[in-house]
Amino acid sequence: MKKISVLAAVLFLLFAFTTVSNWSVDNAHSKLTFTVTHLGISDVSGLFKNFDVKIASSNDDFSDATFDLSADVASVNTEVEMRDNHLKSADFFDAEKYPKLTFKSTDIQPAGKNHYKLTGNLTLHGVTKPVTMDLLYRCTLEHPMSKKATSGFQVTGTIKRSDFGIGEKFPSPMISDEVRIKADGEFTK
């Protein structure tokens, strides 16, 4: 009985002093981009101007971090208004019917110093699929102006638009099925 009480006390102390830090994205220093290949000869990139990301972690190296992202699909911007309007249409994102894309992490695994494999559920165009991305944790420092703890990350990976039913009328020789994702972000505690 005494051993159980000691074990319970140790477990209580272990969990009582574990604090989760919550981090919010600094949108002025963050970007969520994508790139496809057009006709097999040129890359076309775009971004989502309106997005939010939250990170929660109890470890300083973010090895237990969870990521929660949401982006407004109608904020897509490729610097060509006609193309942006086409991407918002039912031919591609169907922003009116599916106004948000989301990513909620489910697992993070080490993949080298400050590198991780980040797995989660991506919901896009009404379809949810598990995806795994490469995550680089750059560092945490005190921001020289705000004096707040600031961390930097980069996420890269590739998804297939066909997995999410996007642009089904446009075969891969016209627009690549592979969509390269790159997200850079600064986060404050």
Higher pLDDT, 171 or 9: 171
Range name among 2-11, 41-50, 104-113 with the lowest pLDDT average: 2-11
Q: pTM score, two decimals?
A: 0.86
Q: Which CATH number fits domain 20-188: 1.10.10.10, 3.30.110.40, 3.40.920.10, 2.40.128.110?
A: 2.40.128.110
Q: Residue 149, class by beta-carbon neighbours within 10 Å (0-12 exposed, 13-18 middle, 19+ buried)?
A: middle
Q: What are phi and psi of 114, to 5 degrees?
A: 60, 15
Report d(CA 30, CA 187) in Å as an integer.
Answer: 9
* H or E stretch at 88: helix 81-88
Q: Over 90: is that where the pLDDT of 64 sits?
A: yes
Kindly state the average pLDDT of the residues 82-100. Answer: 97
Write down the pLDDT at residue 105.
97
Banded model confidence at residue 20, pLDDT cuts 50, 70, 90:
confident
How is residue 150 written in tokens? 């600031």
Looking at residue 125, its amino acid is H
CA angle 125/34/189 to nearest 5° reads 90
Banded model confidence at residue 18, pLDDT cuts 50, 70, 90:
low
> 10-23: string of b/e by CB count within 10 Å (b at 16+)?
eeeeeeeeeeebeb
Q: Over 50: is that where the pLDDT of 114 sits?
A: yes
Report d(CA 126, CA 47) in Å as an integer.
Answer: 19
Residue 136 near residue 154, CB atoms below 8 Å: yes
The alpha carbon dihedral of 162, 167, 173, 176 has a sign of negative
Distance of CA 2 to the CA centre of its chain: 47
Residue 19 near residue 175, CB atoms below 8 Å: no
Write down the pLDDT at residue 12.
46
Residue 56 near residue 66, CB atoms below 8 Å: yes
Supply the mean pLDDT for the chain. Answer: 91
Write down the pLDDT at residue 7.
45
- Residue 137 makes CB contacts below 8 A (sequence gap 6+) with 61, 62, 114, 115, 116, 151, 152, 153
Write down the pLDDT at residue 52.
96
Banded model confidence at residue 19, pLDDT cuts 50, 70, 90:
confident
Report d(CA 105, CA 116) in Å as an integer.
Answer: 12
Write down the pLDDT at residue 4.
53
Q: Over 90: is that where the pLDDT of 5 sits?
A: no
Q: Over 60: is that where the pLDDT of 1 sits?
A: no
Kindly state the average pLDDT of the residues 137-156. Answer: 92
